[in-house]
Amino acid sequence: MNTLIKSAAILGGEKADIALVDGVIAAIGADAAEAAGAGARVVEADGLVALPGLVDLHTHLREPGREDAETVETGTRAAALGGFTCVFAMANTTPVQDTAGVVEQVARLGQEAGWVEVRPIGAVSKGLEGKALAELGAMAASKARVRVFSDDGKCVHDPVLMRRALEYVRSFDGVIAQHSQEPRLTEGAQMNESPLSAQLGLAGWPAVAEEAIIARDIQLAAHVGSRLHVCHLSTAGSVELVRWAKSRGIDVTAEVTPHHLFLTEEKAATYDPLYKVNPPLRTREDVEAVRAGLADGTIDIVGTDHAPHPLEDKDCEWAAGAFGMTGLETALSVVQDVMVDTGRMTWADVARVMSTTPAKIGRITSQGQGLVVGAPAHVTLVDPSVRRVVDPATQATKSTNSPYKGCELPGQVMATFYGGRATVLNGELQVEA
């Protein structure tokens, strides 16, 4: 069905009509109604902001192997409700996404679900063990066409293995997305290392454990001339390292999560494992630094690091709790709250950090082209005036470990169009679409 979106604020600017025809943005502006045709579905979008479909470079869908926490079906429903039209699925599944067969299985599950485009991320090492390279070339040449590789959840801590991985993916323009955590410095760590961790009696996770790996990997990427992506950057020192690398022309990109933009280590004082995450929530000074880094372009993108867990993994004492938080359905609201409504970023900036740049880093052309005539009809409509209280029990994700439970956040995705098909309308999933 063709769609005519009427009076949407394009990237938060001037209002215009948008025609979605045969899966493509056919027209924007005065000729949109004619392009859509007389029988088109009309979506009234006055008061709504039109964004290109969002792209998440860092999602954990858990399937295969941990369907008790999430499935591709439930995770991609959550993504659609969050305004996403593409997610990159991390490799720490069971079995690990370290062969062509497994990444093709994940891609196929995404196609069958149909809510968003699912792009598998391949493991860097076999079994995420950090001992030998996984089948990088085979995954790149597979039907899934993998271009992003990561052992996320674990760090590729062996510098020789990291160098070999960077050299290998260079041949097909791939990128290594590193989980920057020196394991020897974080053994038994539970939260950010600070006076607060000592006060709470929780083992500290020092900032240098992240920064030391980033510094090393920047030098390795420069040495071999390959692409490095820094996952979930969380400290002021990490921002400075990435800024230094970019000033020297090193091909490094970085992401920050919504929770590292919004929450601080003070949440650990609740001893509620909802706030236990890897890397840990940091200090107020770190939060301010990552906000500034995102605003000035040092940090390239926002990645949700959506990490669902079953109830028993979070409804327990802090030390036994799993690391991770959900985030697909709240990411855009958090970014609006801390970056847009504060004047640090515009909606056009949001489109850059949550759509066009993640697609570019992931080397996909089916997403991230922006709101331009001829681009695939991936469009998100958000009402920035709405305020809502987060209730994990009402979310589409299978897990309830949202750190924003009870928080009032701005913005509501009212519609998501994936290839011109409405996956969300009036804020609700179109299950029969």
Active site residues per annotation: 305
Asked if 58 contacts 229 with a C-beta cutoff of 8 angstroms, the reply is no
Asked if 291 contacts 276 with a C-beta cutoff of 8 angstroms, the reply is no
Q: What is the DSSP string of 363-407?
A: T-SSS---S-TTSB--EEEEEEEEEEE--GGGSSSS----TTTT-
**Rounded-to-integer distance, Cα 428 and Cα 416, Å:** 10
3-state secondary structure (DSSP) of residue 84: strand
Q: Over the range 366-395, which residues count as b (16 or more CB within 10 Å of their CB) and which as e? A: ebbbbbeeebbbbbbbbbbeeeeebebeeb
Q: What are phi and psi of 89, to 5 degrees?
A: -90, 120
Asked if 324 contacts 304 with a C-beta cutoff of 8 angstroms, the reply is no
**Rounded-to-integer distance, Cα 211 and Cα 232, Å:** 12
Asked if 268 contacts 313 with a C-beta cutoff of 8 angstroms, the reply is no
* Residue (of 108, 53, 117, 67) closest to 87 by Cα position: 117
Give start and end residues of each alpha helix (H) in 248-380.
Answer: 258-262, 284-295, 331-335, 347-351, 357-361
**Rounded-to-integer distance, Cα 219 and Cα 201, Å:** 36
Q: Which residues contact 402 (CB under 8 A, 6 or more apart)?
A: 274, 325, 326, 327, 330, 390, 392, 395
Q: Which residues contact 299 (CB under 8 A, 6 or more apart)?
A: 233, 239, 242, 254, 255, 256, 290, 293, 353
* Residue (of 317, 60, 48, 264) closest to 179 by Cα position: 60
Q: What is the largest CA-CA distance in the chain?
A: 67
> What would the two tokens of residue 241 be?
């390292």
**Rounded-to-integer distance, Cα 424 and Cα 226, Å:** 39
Asked if 66 contacts 391 with a C-beta cutoff of 8 angstroms, the reply is no
